[in-house]
Structure 1
Amino acid sequence: PVVGGNWKCNPDSASKLDGLIANINACDTSKCDVYVCPSPLHVAYCTGKFTNGALVTPQNCNFKGCGAFTGEMAVEQMKDMGVTQVLIGHSERRGEFGIFPMDDNTTLATKLKYIL
């Protein structure tokens, strides 16, 4: 079984973040794979903090690599940090915000090919 949690744009403080990490570390994850998707700001902070095998999973990536792409995260950067997976395709981008050019089906397919 796989258990994943997308924290979206939460939590709002470092102490709450530490509390979430402690709660997850207290869980027995021996019978499932656990993926934790913190906000982009918290990815580096969370990396290496889980002691029970939970994997830090960024919430998104670009498909152009490193460069002048403000606010984006490149797969190459993730790999350098030891990240081996990423979450792509977000319904709220289509529902709440409308379809952004960077969140349409064609772009998601391009991201998937780039990631793999």
Structure 2
Amino acid sequence: MESLAAALHIRKPEIQYWIDQNWLPATMVSKGRLRFYTITPEALLHLHKHHHMDVLGRGLPNQSLFEAYVQYCYSPKHTVGEQLLDVRRDKRERAAFSAVSKSRQVQQQEPEDEYAGEEGRYRVRI
């Protein structure tokens, strides 16, 4: 919660208000009298999609900073499994395709039986 408040240049009680209103889903862990909140990227995206106008109505000082934080800094879509950047996915696809192509070329170059490769080796001149 502290890091989100620092990044968005807002007070921690404002983020606590978002959590209390169920605008921002968060997981709370208590250790004695201390409470720690874990805010996932999906939770922040939920806040942005469903309560964007509510947050702006509360006087968010820098809307563009909030949107940039949601879109680029806190979003995991470029770091996890299927959600890798298109460039990385395309690179993996190209590598897999070239590996398959090379294995097919090797299979085509190998003779099917042990005498198939000798046909071109011997020539008879008449």
Q: TM-score, normalised by structure 1?
A: 0.25
Greater share of helix: 2
Higher RCO (C-alpha 8 Å, min separation 6)? 1
The alignment's TM-score, normalised by the length of structure 2, stands at: 0.24
Whose radius of gyration is greater, 1 or 2?
A: 2
